[in-house]
Each structure stands twice: as structure tokens, then as C-alpha cells.
Chain A
Amino acid sequence: EIVMTQSPATLSVSPGEGATLSCRASKSVSRNLAWYQQKPGQAPRLLIYDTSARATGIPARFSGSGGGTEFTLTISSLQSEDFAVYYCQQYDSWPPLTFGGGTKVEI
């Protein structure tokens, strides 16, 4: 099973600033990595797939990069609605699909 590790656990950012979130895989997942955003009481929303492709309707301030075992989600200028928990997920080797533990982006 591929273990996904996210850092930091919590990121404190001011509105308008940028944020960089990291995700590391225990073995290479090529570029088969997705990012999700989850707000309290809601289902996750797909942001990024295939490492860097934005899902439908996702603003350009969200971007993904990386490959192999190291991945990054960058939010260029945080808006109030971006404060949430972000998860990465690999789909290179399954079963099982596996998720990182999440990064909470707080004000």
C-alpha cells in the first residue's frame, strides 16, 4: 500500500498571501495524483488531477506540480473561501486508493 504524507499539518496564512502544500508518496506514483478541498460539513471537491490539471470550474490560483514521490499544491493568493482542509490522493497503484492526512489552511 502506498502511504501518502502531507505537510505541514496546519498552515497559517493571511488573505492575499500565497500557500504551498506538500504531499509525499512512499513510492513513485508517476503523475497519478489528485488534490481535494474539504470544508466543514461538506463533501470533498476535486481541485487537481494528473498532478497539474485543474478540474472543471477551479480557479487559476490553484496549481499543482511535481511527480514521482514529491508533489505540491500552490494557492497563489488566498481568498476567504480557500480556508479549508486539503488532501492529496494517489491512484497509481490500487487497491487501495490512498489519501494523505490533510493540511488545514487557516487564517
Chain B
Amino acid sequence: QVQLVQSGAAVKKPGSSVKVSCKASGGNFATGVFSWVRQAPGQGFEWIGGMMGYYGTAIYAQKFRGRVLITTDDSTTTVYMELSSLTSEDTAVYFCARGPVDIQTSMLFLEYWGQGTLVTVSS
């Protein structure tokens, strides 16, 4: 079965960047469809973007384009999400998630989730 284990909490200064990792096990990592979703305190979910391994392509929500980068490392089966130009509004729990293992070519529902990483942006 698929497991996703994320890096630990981070505290960042406004204007800086944060890079969150997500170590995946189980399933075929290279062709997996991964997403990054965030949840601000007491709020709902916001999709940041995702990686479609089959195509080797990252796709981003318009809101985050230009300041987010999603990458993968097949050798360590790890997905990364780097967000730059941080402001206090980026304070949130960031989740990585994966779609069903047998679907490789589309963003769908999120079947597997990491435990979440709290990113706090504060001066």
C-alpha cells in the first residue's frame, strides 16, 4: 500500500522560501500522480499543483504560478514542493497526496495523503 511521509514543520521569514518533501513508498512512483494541497488554520483546502509522473509534467494552480515549483526525485521516490516569496497568508498545513495507483494520466481524487507539514511564516 502507498504511504506518504512528509518533512517536519518549518518556520520561515516573510520573503523567504520553503521546500517541503514527501517520501513515497508503495505503488509505481515514476508514473504516479501527486498533488500538493494546503489548509490554512481553520479553513478548507486549496490545491497548489501537482506532478504527473507519466508525462513528467508539473501543473500549477494559476494563483501559485511563478512562485511554486514541484519536482520529483525518482532515485529516492520523493516529491518536493518549493514555495517562494512567502507572506503570512502562506501560513498553513501543507499536504502531499496521491491519486489512485492505477490511474497515471489524469488528476483525480486524492486517495493517499501525507500527514501534513505546518509552515509558519512570521517575522
Contacts and interface: CB of A to CB of B under 8 A. Distances in A.
Q: Do the two shown chains form a genuine complex with each other?
A: yes
A99 B45 contact: yes
Contacts of B95: 43-44
Interface of B: 35, 37, 44-47, 49-50, 59-63, 95, 106-111, 113-116
A71 interface: no
Contacts of B116: 43
A95 B45 contact: no
Interface string A84-107: 000101010011111111100000
A46 interface: yes
A49 interface: yes
A1 B122 CA distance: 30
Nearest to B35: A97
Contacts of A89: 45, 109-110
Nearest to A36: B110
A13 interface: no
Contacts, number: 61
B104 to A, nearest CB: 15
A43 B109 contact: no
Interface in A1-29: 1
A73 interface: no
A17 B90 CA distance: 39
B60 A44 contact: no
A96 B47 contact: yes
22 contacts: A34-B110, A36-B110, A44-B45, A44-B95, A46-B109, A49-B108, A49-B111, A87-B44, A89-B45, A89-B110, A91-B106, A91-B108, A95-B49, A95-B50, A95-B62, A96-B47, A96-B61, A96-B62, A97-B37, A97-B47, A99-B45, A100-B44
Contacts of A49: 108-109, 111
Given A97-B35, A99-B45, A55 B111 contact: yes
B61 A95 contact: yes
A31 to B, nearest CB: 12
Which of B50, B109, B114 has the largest count of A CB atoms less than 10 A from its CB? B109
